[in-house]
Each structure stands twice: as C-alpha cells, then as structure tokens.
Structure 1
C-alpha cells in the first residue's frame, strides 16, 4: 500500500469542504496549491528522512491556515497542514509525544482569528474543535497507511527471503546428492585401483578385471551425475544392496547381506541412499572386519564391528539424510557401542507409494 492512500482517503472530502466554504476563487486556488505540496511530500516519501521540500510545504500550509483563521474564510484550511505535519511527525521518532502538541498548535492557529472577531460556539467548534480532532484523524490515517505499507513491504521481503532460502535448500540438496554419487564412486574406484595395483604382477587377469570395473563405475557415475543434473536420478534399493555387498567383499570384509520381502516391491529411494552412505562411511572410517546388511521395502539396517571413531565429518552425510528421511515421515537412528556401529532407517510404504506417484 502506498502513502498516497492518505491523500486518496482525505483529499476528496476536504476539496468538497473547500468548495462549500471558500468565499473566493483565490482561496480555493491557495488550498489546491497546499494539497499539491502535500502530494509532492507524499510522492517523495521514504523511511530515510524528510523530503527536501517538506519544510517549505509545512511553512506554506501553516501560513495559509493562519490566513484562513484570521480572515475567517474556511475552517477546512487546516487539512494540508495536518497532512504535511503528520508526515513529518512520523520521522521525529517520538511522534506519540509530539502529535498532541501539534494538534493543539493547529487548533491554536484556528483560535487566533478570535483576536479580530467575537467567538461563538459555532466558530469555536469550526476553528478549534474541528481542526483539533481533524488533525488527529488525519495523523491516524497517515499512520495507518504507513503501517500497512511497512507490513506489505515486510511481506514482500519475507517472500523474497523464502524464495532465496528455497533456492539455497535446493542447492544444498543437490550438493548432498552429488556428494553421495561422486564420493561413493570415487571411494570404490580408489579401492579397486589399489587392488589392481596389488595383483597386477601376480594375477594380470584379476587386475584387468578390476580396471574394467573401474571403467564401468566411472561410466555409471557420469550417467548418474547427468541424471542428477536433470532430476532423473533415483537409486534402487535391491541394486544398491548388491553393490554394497560387492564393495565390502572387494575390501576383504565378511559380508552378510539379505533382502527381506518382495524385491519387486516399491521402496523409497532414500533407503538406498542411506545404505550407500552407511557403506561408504564404514569403509572409509570404521575399518571393520564383518558387515551385516538387512534391507526390506520399508527399512534398511547396516551394522559393522569397526572400532574407528565416528567423526563429525563422517556423520555429516547421515545427518543430512536423517532430515530428508524425517521429511518423508520416516526415521533414521545411529547406535554406537564398543563392539558395533548400527545405522537403521525406516520409511513407511505409503511414502514410497507417494514418491512413485510423483515420479
């Protein structure tokens, strides 16, 4: 809402009042010029301070109201002064104190005309009571318009901030997904490259097979990254379970991996991401000898006997996934004991069905 609403709310009634009470054309012209000055102040309105011509507008409107009061021409002449003065009062920072004094001052100017003519109850009401109450009313309209303007501007800024946060959240989500894809694949490539180097002299065929696996994983990573960029990437829990099993076996670990339930049943993609992140973490940080992986359409559990300490860096990916799992009406728990480290994630089948419908 613009501060020009104050003029739109007050000026028409005042113009009608001037037309009914003015005794000559020049009185109406003077009032019109006062309204133009008030309009100029409103157009230059800001929260930073006074418009440059505001003091001139205040002096001119005060002079015209004084002339009207002394000559007894029109008691509506206080309105431009009330408009300009009310706007300036809002910039004092202590308008609650000064607004009363300002209204009394406007009424006092109206009472100055009694020095040249005898006061009556009608004149007193017209030149003192009406300007006093009218000034307070005008200030109330200006204050209401400014508050509405401020609220509208804050809402606009809040919407912009919300949009910026949505973009930032999407960037964080994309970065997290990219980390899951690239980090996991690069770690697998690192392990297989080390294995190929180890057996290249003693078992060239095994080394060649590992190098072929490295190329396959690199191709899959490129495809997954491209799919992620176009929002088509989605992990499969059964395939990820088999991939985790092969990875742990390649690292020389004892693996017990099983899928409970129908492998064709829809499972939420986040379960596969939890499995991938947990597998990458245990290989990178835990140094286990045995790993147990249990998956189903609604849950996944990864346990290992690693004794490595879980650092903040190693758990950051799981913490990010926990928030996403909870947003899908699921849960992710981490259990640590001196002998075992267990990651358990559960997402109801209804969430998986909704995800499938959306895709």
Structure 2
C-alpha cells in the first residue's frame, strides 16, 4: 500500500501498511483455517462445499478491499458517507453462507467466526455510537442463535454453544476496532503535526512583516520629516538644509541595512538605542522631550524584553510624528517589583492613531501578551500615552 503525498516522510505510510497487513492477515488466517476446514469436510455435501469455497473467496476479497479502503481514507472523511457498500454487502452475504455451511458441517461453536469478522469490518465504517449498537446487537443475536443451535443439536453442547459465538463476536470487534483506533490516532497526530508546522511558518511570516513594518515605517517617517525640514531651510539656511539632507542619506542607508538584517534574521531592536534615537528625532521635529530612565533599569531586563520594548518605543515615536501635533513629549522607563514599565506620552493627541489590521500597536500588544506582558494606549484631555510592561525575566517569547 503506497502512501500519498500527505504521508511521505512522516512514517505514516509504513504504519498504515503494518496495520493493514496485521489486521487483514489475522482475519483471513482464522477464516481460512476454520471456514476452509468446513468447506473441505467430506461429510459436507458437495454443493455445500462448493458454495462454501465461493463464499470464502468473496468474504476474503470483501475484507481485503474494505480494510484497504478504510485505511486509505482519513477517518474524518468517512463521516461523509463514503464506504465500499457493494463489497460490504457481498461480504455480509458470504459470511452468512459460511456460517450456514459450518452448521451443516456440525461446527456448532465456530460457525460465528465469519459473521463476527464481517460485523467488525462493517463497524469500522460507522460512527462510535453506531459501532457500539452494531456490536451489542451482534452479541445478542449470537447468544440467541447459540441457545437455539445448542438446543436443536441435542449433542450436549451446553454453554459453549452460547459462549464461543459471543466471544468470537467480541474478540473480532475488539481486535479490528482497536487496531483501527490506533491508526486513526496516528493519522490525527500526523495531521496535527502538519498543522503545527504550517502555523509556525505563518507566525514567522507575521513576525517578519511586523518587524519590517516597524523598521520601514519609522525610518520613512523620519526621512519625510527631515526632507520637509530641509526643503523649508533651503532658501533661508542652505548649510543646515544640506546637513539635514546628509542625515536623510544616512537614514536611508541605515534603513537599507536594517531591512537586510531583518531578512537575514539577526537584527535586534535595543530599548536603550530606541529611547536615545526617539529623543533626537522628536527634538528634530521641534517637540520638547523629557526622558526619565530610572536607575540602571534597562540592565535588569532580558535581551528579549529590551527588544520588545524597543519595538514599542519605535512604534510610539512614529505615531507621535505621524498622528499628532505635539509640542511636548515624555518618555519614562523604570523597573518596579520585577516588572519593566515604559511610558511614552505627548500633548498633541488627535485621538487614538489609526491602526491597519496586522500592524502597529495591536500587533505589539499581542506579542507582549505572549511574553506575559501588557501594552495599553489611552487619550485623555489631549494627552495620549502608550504604556508597556514586561516581567524582567522575559526570555524567548516573541
């Protein structure tokens, strides 16, 4: 049995072959030994032996095809009603014929093996509740027929005529359904593994997109600001305008380097650098900015924590430049009770800055929540403030 593309490299194809050969081989072996023995019994009339041989061939084919079909289709797909109905019907008829031939051969105990095997095969195509009902009904029918056959035989079969058929039904169902249950579990675990891998890829893409948005958005905003300032100064102060344009060139080169670094996966945003850069950029935009860093607070935060708060600092600075008419801004950072707290506020709030889905503060809020932190922003009486907090032990959660 060849595995499809969904199984290649997962080991699931080999497990499916093992399950199919083990289950099919076990059922076919016992059917051939018992039912075949009845069909070859010289005390059985010739027509019964011929009928038994044909029925045995049909039953074996039905079991092989049905189990192959069952193992080749995901268990969830079978809920849509897909099943080899023709083979199942033919196998049930053949099992009934073999049971009758066994009774003709006076096999008053083993007659139930073929019907029991077919009951188990049919059960694997039913939902759990249907399986239980089918097996329970088969056990009751086997017990009743065992009583009737034991009484009619007059051979003193006694309790064995009832116990053996019931045991055959129970054991066949237990064996078949148990092995198929193991296969279904393995299949679901394999599907879950594929889904986890796909989610990891998507999360990495979102992380890359968020980093790229933070880098490019910040740099482009500063470049636009300095270009506008240089344009205003070109006539009144050419020297300063030239200096601003040199800074624009440097910022453009830095943006290119940062973009390449993100693409190679080794760039880290540092909180200390972002606070210093924010103060310079806001001052260049003629926004009076005060900075309160506390006492060596940044050193108590992990590298991951400094990276995350650095991203918050960058996004908040970009929002001040892009979405406010601020005259004053305040940046405060400190560590209290094992948590790092970063506040960025300004007095030019025009309401909460618009956020496109998948970008900006909402994305950063989700990343901080994943690191057991929090990010909030609020506007009150013209003062807009972003507040971020993280435990100082944050490590590896981004």
Contact 1:290 1:304 in 2 (8 A): yes
Q: Do the aligned residues in 1 keep the contact of 2:258 with 2:267 (CA within 8 Å)?
A: yes
Which secondary structure state, in structure 2, belongs to the residue aligned with residue 300 of structure 1?
Answer: strand
Pairs aligned (count): 352
Q: Distance in 1 between matches of 2:274 and 2:265?
A: 19
Matching residue within 329, 336, 340 for 2:379: 336
Matched, 1:173 2:211: no
For 1:138 and 1:53, the matched residues in 2 are separated by: 19
Give, in angstroms, the shift of residue 125 of structure 1. 4.2
Task: State TM-score, norm by structure 2.
Answer: 0.75
The 1:271–1:97 alpha-carbon spacing in structure 2 relative to 1, beyond 3 Å, is closer
1:199 paired to 2:233:
yes
Corresponding residue SS for 1:121: coil
Counting only pairs closer than 5 Å after superposition, residues 8-27 of structure 1 correspond to structure 2 as 24=41
Matched residue, 2:364: 321
Indicate the residue corresponding to 1:276 in structure 2: 314
The aligned counterpart of 2:329 is: 291
List runs of 5+ in structure 2 lacking aligned partners. 1-14, 43-48
User: 8 Å contact 2:69–2:83 — kept in the other structure?
Assistant: no
Structure 1's unaligned 5+ residue stretches are none
| 1:142-191 Cα deviation digits (max 9, x unpaired) | 33333333333222222222222222222111111111001111111111
Are the equivalent residues in 2 in contact too, given 1:286–1:310 (CA < 8 A)? no
Cα displacement (A) at 1:44:
2.4
Structure 1 counterpart of 2:172: 138
The 3 A distance-change label for structure 1 pair 310 and 56 is same
Give the Cα–Cα distance (whole angstroms) in 2 for the partners of residues 277 and 244 of structure 1.
10
Q: 1:188 to 1:283 in 2, by over 3 A?
A: same
Task: Decide whether aligned partners of structure 1 residues 288 and 264 sit closer, same or farther in structure 2, where only a CA change above 3 A counts.
Answer: closer
Q: Distance in 2 between matches of 1:264 and 1:300?
A: 10
Aligned equivalents of 2:109, 2:55: Cα separation in 1? 11
- Are 1:65 and 2:99 matched, yes or no? yes
1:67 to partner: Cα distance: 0.7
Kept in 2: contact 1:22–1:73 (CA 8 A)? no
Decide which of 67, 81, 86 is 1:42's aligned counterpart. 67
The one-character-per-residue Cα deviations of 1:228-279 (angstroms, maximum 9, x if unpaired) are 1111111222221221112212222111134333498365211211111111
- Hey, what's the Cα distance between the residues in 1 that align with 2:137 and 2:371? 61
SS of corresponding position for 2:299: coil
Aligned to 1:121: 156
After superposition, the Cα gap between the structure-2 partners of 1:241 and 1:104, relative to the gap in structure 1 and judged at 3 Å, is closer
| Counterpart check, 1:347 vs 2:381 | no
Moved more, 30-39 or 342-351: 30-39
Aligned to 1:249: 283
| Counterpart residue number, 2:120 | 86
